[in-house]
Amino acid sequence: YEVGNTENTINFIKYLISKNKDSQIVIIWDGAKYHISKELKEYLGKINEGKEQEDWLVKCIKLAPNAPEQNPIEDVWLQGKEILRKYWNMCKTFKIVKWLFEWAIKEHIFSFPKLSMYASFS
Write down the domain spans for the chain: 6-62, 69-116
Which one is predicted more confidently, 118 or 24?
Answer: 24
Share of the chain above pLDDT 90, in %: 39
pLDDT band, residue 118 (cuts 50/70/90)? low
- Whether the full predicted model's pTM is greater than 0.75, yes or no, is no
Contact 72, 28 (CB under 8 A): yes
At residue 91, the pLDDT reads 86
Phi/psi of residue 71, nearest 5 degrees: -90, 115
Q: Which residues contact 70 (CB under 8 A, 6 or more apart)?
A: 63, 64, 114, 117
Express each pLDDT in 91-112 by its tens digit: 899 999 999 988 888 877 777 7
Using a 10 angstrom Cβ sphere, with 0-12 exposed, 13-18 middle and 19 or more buried, the burial of residue 9 is buried
Contact 40, 14 (CB under 8 A): no
At residue 120, the pLDDT reads 62
Express each pLDDT in 58-101 by its tens digit: 998 888 777 777 777 788 888 888 888 998 888 899 999 999 98
